[in-house]
Structure 1
């Protein structure tokens, strides 16, 4: 059975994000005054719009008939019309799914909404067009709003690690076992949503309802396309093949970015909060990991994430420090001696009791519980 990543996902009760919510509100309340209607196709709701008070309402990217739009503007509502010829909806009310971003994969990755949004970003990011930059900002804010609604009430553990970790390796399988163990322990796994260690952790979360043999078989199948280079198409297709063979996967979250456009999202995160602004994405992933962050072996990017997370824990700027668990003693003490510096920073601070270094992924769930006590 697929479970929700949130124990009680909900949103502001004055936001309407589906046609069902629109119909229920009009029926029960008889008014839309003061409501925010977000990316709902109202083309077939002209009669309701003409007959309902919409004073002070805001309609964000809702297709509707011109006479309905004219009437609700007269009521005093604000209407932000859909933007034509965009490969994404800046006003979207929900995060993405892999099926949505990889639609048209049968025609090649270049034809997918994910690739088309990146191509649009490449064309517009350097030309200084205020309209394009506004659309990116509105989109990213809408995604943040949807992500907060999705994760309300969830115990979120972030899993950080490098994108270069190849399928078919022991390290990849270890990251997958970590995602599975965290999910079985009742946590919602959140990653950067890309390839490598991120995909592995999302795969592990997906595999949580199945036995050990499923994860081994899935890793073997994925190993036939070990990397997203040279072919994102083949890399992604093998993931969807795994999902088709084992369709009852558990949920998890990926938070990727079009900033790294060469790096596709992975298909095992059931919910993908994809951003244009990488800084918003990075801070958002760490800030939402309210039950702790696990750092698998990585390079410069993972080291940066360790200290991005350590800084608010050091100063207490997000409240109580959250647990930080570094995995692989040799990597974090000898190869990249990050642990000694983190330990020195934490000395005599409230975060001192919230950091741990472990050797094996199997030790992580217990370490998180211990650090949270």
Structure 2
């Protein structure tokens, strides 16, 4: 809870801070990386720094948190905090790094707003920062304890025991601890971070959903190669596609992520696009292994059938669930594949295949549905809006984003 003396100060200055938050974030990162270049080299995603997405994510989280302190003083945005904390734990973030961020963030606010930042204003925003930081540190401490690792000690070596080309741009890698033991348990929907050393010596980190059944002796991740287009090619995805073969050893985090499948028998909607289908595979594997009879509607969108990673596996999982239905949308259903791929099976009574973009307006969806979304932000925003129009509760719609969470404060 924000103190009585700071509340009116934050309320009065939030519009100015909010209006300048993108500039504040840019100055903050410039100061941070000048003082600690190792953070850009080994912790922050260089691609997201280059395209400005990291700055936008920081701006969104700070503005959302400050707004909640003012509008709902007796509550905390726990969903937002949990998502950030899981991401931080998967990166090995430690409590002492929050002090570094605090120093450069407050200096950036002072630089951008100038004389408007009186000692009283600086103290009030320092309080906002530490309310958020201490809440995150508490959650991250608990997450590390649950994994049985010291703070920041989330990494372990894992051997690639299998590799499979799912599509021309997606490869799956099966991973097992190098000591020969079984991979630790995880909850369906969680992800791991993979840290790789690039040719210039940088140790870059990316997150990948676990796309296999929980409880197996190995994990599986599916990596989509990010090719150059509107931005540069993906550094880590390209490295994994080009260099990693069976027998390679990767540095991998413990499983994290709060988009996990709850227990129960209520109806589910699992909606994904592109490589966002991977956490849904783990959820479906879990339901099949448990002999679930709960109603499940699976929606997936892709550019073409040839681009749809794990297409046949998804179909087989739905076939094993007695009350599941699969609805596929392909923007270019007749697009020729660059390499030969098996023809998709003919649709059954529980499978529909449509051309174009996802349209859930005509799908039979019960009002007590719990929904999980994963995919590009435009897809999730559009689908969420359509579900709200159908009368679904906002609290029943959950989502996962990889990279900076640009949806914070907008969902």
Q: Would you call these one fold, judging by a TM-score over 0.5?
A: no
1 or 2, which has the higher strand percentage?
Answer: 2
Q: Give the alignment's TM-score, normalised by structure 2.
A: 0.29
Give the TM-score taking structure 1 as reference length: 0.31
